[in-house]
Amino acid sequence: MKRLLTILSLVALVLSASAQELWTGTFATAPEFTGRGDMPQHSTLTGNTIRQIVKVTTAGKQLRVQLSNEFSDIPVEINGVYIALAKDTTDIDLKTVKWLKFAGKKNVTIPAHQAIYCDAFNYNLPKLTRLAVTICYGKRTPEHMTSHRGSRTNSYIALGNVKPGKKFVTIEKLAHWYNIAKIEVKAKKPAIAILGNSITDGRGSTTDAQNRWPDFMAEALDGEVGILNLGIGGNCVVEGGLSEPALKRFDRDILGQNNIDKLIIFEGTNDIGTCGGAYEKKAQQVIDAYKILIEKAHAKGIKVYGGTITPTKGNGWYSFFHEAMRQTINEWIRKPGNFDGIVDFDELVRDAKDPQQLIKEYSDDWLHLNPKGYEVMGKYAAKVVK
């Protein structure tokens, strides 16, 4: 009898642990250094307010938000931050406004090269919804903010510190996110992270339409799990490209996410396209980098899926040698035992009559996909990793 009770107690503990709610991303983006061209061109953030729109994936009753100043050399002063469900452009649902607090205060100064979470708070966040994050800046902001360049959604700047209920008069509109890094909810199911370049970041999608392939993936999964888009336009795996390469940013952007159990690595086309020689060596470097990233993820108990690199024929990056690199890397990705699973985007979107080229209806530049192509990719990826 005692043995039976012990077994039942252990089972209860296991079930309790499996049902435990953990901090889990419902939105995340990869922070970057902000050059002058991606800062406001006709106004300033200093002393002003920016309203930024993000789309969360999974629902939650408890939230916390992380703001990042990791790529800035001086602190950023923030007088207040509030969230609300977004309506149209700058309009918000005033009934859903919630001020964020930091150690019990509305104002916060984020030190240089650091990121901070706000205090956890209760909030009824629906799944697959647009959320407005409004930041009222103080008198000191960095010349080069920490941002994400490829927001694919418009952000709006207004003069002064605009509180909820006050008319938001836009003085500048731009498609970047500033300081926002993560939005997390307490959830039972782990999230899925995606490491990618501009195809994941959404180049070719429609601004404000939320039609990147990870968006379609989240919709196909009905918001049951968090989908974290850590794509960066122009990003490389090994070196070069735009922003920190995957090898350098992996620990922060992927392993720094809470409660993820699956990862899709869909990078490499920029390493191929920018290669000007020693093609075999560079292809092997990409493969060796994949091995490092897989090993790191496995050490954290994360299952890793490899996304095959999509065709580029018709684009200026295409050549016989670049195509040979792509085929070499894709062959390695597909080989059983290298990844835990394969998301074969190449096979999915290539033209059956010319496999080195994308299906015409799926792309406008023979490199990036368009919303029609992204929809196909997102729905397919959802089936593979479900």
Instruction: Give percent above pLDDT 90 in the chain.
Output: 95
Quickly state the pLDDT bin for 306 (edges 50, 70, 90). Answer: very high
Q: Is the dihedral of CA 186, 191, 194, 198 positive or negative?
A: negative
Asked if 57 and 225 touch (Cβ cutoff 8 Å), the reply is yes
CA distance 315 to 327: 17
Q: What is the pLDDT of residue 148?
A: 98
Q: How confident is the model at residue 17 (pLDDT cuts 50, 70, 90)?
A: very low
Name residue, tokens 């080195």. Answer: 356
Question: Is the distance from CB of 374 to CB of 339 less than 8 angstroms?
Answer: no
- pLDDT range class, residue 7, cuts 50, 70, 90: very low
pLDDT of 379: 98
- At 11 the pLDDT is 41
Give the distance, in angstroms, between the CA of residue 113 and the centroid of all CA atoms in the same chain.
Answer: 20
Per-residue pLDDT at 339:
98
Q: How many residues does the chain have?
A: 386
Distances (CA, A) of 257 to 5, 22, 100, 312: 38, 12, 21, 32
- Beta-sheet pairing, 227-231 with 191-196: parallel
Summarize pLDDT for 266-294 with one digit per residue, the tens: 999 999 999 999 999 999 999 999 999 99
Residue of higher predicted confidence among 8 and 231 = 231
Mean pLDDT of 125-132: 98
pLDDT tens-digit series, residues 151-161:
999 999 999 99
Q: What pLDDT does 6 receive?
A: 44
Q: In angstroms, how far is the first alpha carbon of the chain from the final one?
A: 40
User: At 117, which helix (H) or strand (E)?
Assistant: strand 115-117
pLDDT score at 19: 65
* Mean pLDDT, rounded, for 328-356: 98
The one-letter code for the residue type at 375 is: E
pLDDT band at 45 (very low <50, low <70, confident <90, very high): very high
CA angle centred on 240, ends 237 and 241, rounded to 5°: 80
Contact partners, residue 188, CB within 8 Å, separation at least 6 = 18, 19, 20, 21, 22
Binning pLDDT at 50, 70 and 90, where does residue 344 land? very high
Average pLDDT of the chain, as a whole number = 95
**How far apart are alpha carbons 335 and 385 in whole angstroms?**
18
What is the structure's pLDDT at 329?
98
Residues 136-147 have a mean pLDDT of: 97
CA pair distance 67, 24, nearest whole angstrom: 16
Alpha helix positions (H), the chain: 2-18, 198-201, 213-220, 246-253, 269-273, 279-299, 320-334, 345-349, 371-385
CA trace torsion 208, 209, 215, 216 (10° rounding)? -170
Looking at per-residue confidence, does 243 or 5 come out higher?
243
Torsion of CA 315, 209, 184, 57, to 10 degrees: -100
What is the tens place of the pLDDT at every residue in 100-115?
999 999 999 999 999 9
pLDDT above 80 (res 4): no
Judged against a pLDDT cut of 80, whether residue 311 lies above it is answered with yes
